[in-house]
Structure 1
Amino acid sequence: MKVLIVEDDQFHSTFVQEALVEALPEVTEIVHAANGAIGEDEARRGEIDAIVMDLQMDQRNGIEAARSIWAERPQSRILFWSNYADDAYLRGIAHIVPEDSAYGYVLKTASRARLKLALRAVLVEGQIMVDREIHRLQRRGTSLRTRLDDSEFNVLIDLALGLQDKLIAERRGMSLRTVQNRLISLYEKLGVISEFDDEVTLNKRVRALNRALVTRTINIETLETAHRDLETWLAGR
């Protein structure tokens, strides 16, 4: 079994490699790539069976690298790991994972035993596994009442990319009124509407983007991927 580690930090790369050797006697070869771009090349030319993928990397982030790998090799099993329990990461992964593909998401702060369990579950047994600590941190940071649904999240992404209401409606297949209702809803959930009194006038779209970034509802990796998606959509419009 050949495993690819895509990680730009040498300490973390060594930690994962040691965990792999301990947990998976099936592993016959381990390949290391220092960023997502190199990881894509390694996955493309090598007979890689499974991948451990960092999410935050220079040149090409883990979401983008995984999407390219899955586009060519949808059977690839990928365990993502990160310092952050961002909802944006989970949404991004869910958006790109092929049907019936195995994947996982574990925090770098997880114990060695927990990491080894995730490695075996995803890379060998082909399970879908999201570390319970990620769900716990997300529940602590938000509630069901304030969590954006997929439609609201898509409108937020388009807002962050600078699209006006009419273009959002066209891209998402919504009526203009629906887009405006989604905006009102996400303003409320992000705390923009009640943030200031009536004597202060601020741009709600900018404030919504600010709050989304501060609360890590979206992150830079999400926006990088969304920008490339937008370019593709505009080219075929």
Structure 2
Amino acid sequence: MKVLIVEDDQFHATYLQDALAEALPEVTEILHAIDGAAGEEAARQAEIDAIVMDLQMVRRNGIEAARTIWAERPQCRILFWSNYADDAYLRGIAQIVPEDCAYGYVLKTASRARLKLALRAVLIEGQIMVDRELHRLQTRGASPRTRLDESEFDVLVDLALGLQDKLIAQRRGMSLRTVQNRLLSLYEKLGVISESDVGLTLNKRVRALNRALVTRTINIETLEAAQRDLETWMADRG
């Protein structure tokens, strides 16, 4: 069994190699790619079916690399690991993972024992595994009352790209009224409406984007991927 590590930090790559050797005696070869672009090529050339993927890398992030790899190898099992518990990363992964494909998400702060458990569960046993600590961090930062649902998140992303309400409605297949209702809802959940209640005169769209970035509801990787999707959608419209 061949496993590919996609990690731009050599210390972390070495740590992963050691953990893989301890946890997965089935592994016959461990390959290393230094960024997402190199990871895509390695997965293609070596016909890799199991990957440990960093999320933040200088050249091509883990979400985009996984999107390409899964498009070519939909049964490839990927364990993502990251320093960040961003909701945007989990949403991004959920949007691109193929049906019935095993994947996982573990924080780099997890214990070695926890990492080894995740490696075996995802790469060997084909389970879906998201670190409990990740769920705890998310729960601590967002209650059901403040967590955006998928349609609200889609509207937020389009708002961040600079789309006006009518174009958001066309892109998402919503009525204009529905888009406006989603905007009001996400303003409330992001705390923008409460700011206006204390006498502040602010641009709600800009404040919503600010709050989404501060709370890590979206991140730069989300926006980069969304921009590419928008360009594709606009090109298809002619």
Cα distance in 1 for partners of 2:112, 2:197 equals 49
Q: For 2:47 and 2:37, locate their aligned partners in 1 and report how far apart those are by CA, in whole Å.
A: 17
Partner of 1:74: 74
Question: For residue 149 of structure 2, what is the aligned residue in structure 1?
Answer: 149
What residue number does 1:127 align with? 127
TM-score w.r.t. length of structure 2: 0.98
1:155-170 equivalences in 2 (<5 Å): 155-170=155-170
Q: Distance in 2 between matches of 1:139 and 1:236?
A: 39
Helix, strand or coil for the counterpart of 1:79? strand
Deviates more, 1:191-200 or 1:112-121: 191-200
Say if 1:198 and 1:108 are closer, same or farther in 2 by CA, change over 3 A.
closer
Matching residue of 2:7: 7
Query: How far 1:198 sits from its partner (Å)?
Result: 5.9
Partner of 2:50: 50
Residues in 2 aligned to 1:211 and 1:231: alpha-carbon distance in whole angstroms: 25
Q: Tell me the equivalent position of 1:88.
A: 88
CA distance in 1, matches of 2:176, 2:197: 28
Q: Unaligned stretches of 5+ in structure 2?
A: none
1:34 partnered with 2:34: yes
Q: Which residue of 2 aligns with 1:222?
A: 222
Identical columns (%)? 84
Work out the CA distance in 1 between the residues paired with 2:196 and 2:165. Answer: 24
Instruction: Give the Cα separation in 2 of the matches to 1:49 and 1:141.
Output: 35
Residue 200 (str. 1) matches residue 200 (str. 2): yes
RMSD of aligned Cα (Å): 0.8
CA distance in 1, matches of 2:5, 2:53: 6
Runs of 4+ in 1 over 6 A off after TM superposition: none
Corresponding residue for residue 177 of structure 2 = 177
Q: Which amino acid aligns with 2:148?
A: L
**20-29 or 220-229, which moves further after superposition?**
220-229
Question: What one-letter code is carried by the residue in structure 1 that aligns with 2:150?
Answer: D
The equivalent residue for 1:115 is 115
* Secondary structure at 1:106 match in 2: strand
CA deviation after TM superposition for structure 1 residue 197, in Å: 4.3
TM-score (norm 1): 0.98
Measure the CA separation in 2 of the matches of 1:103 and 1:198: 45
Q: Secondary structure at the match of 2:201?
A: coil
1:199, distance to aligned residue in structure 2 (A): 4.0
- Provide the C-alpha distance between the structure 2 equivalents of 1:196 and 1:47, rounded to a whole number of angstroms: 55
Unaligned 5+ residue runs, structure 1? none
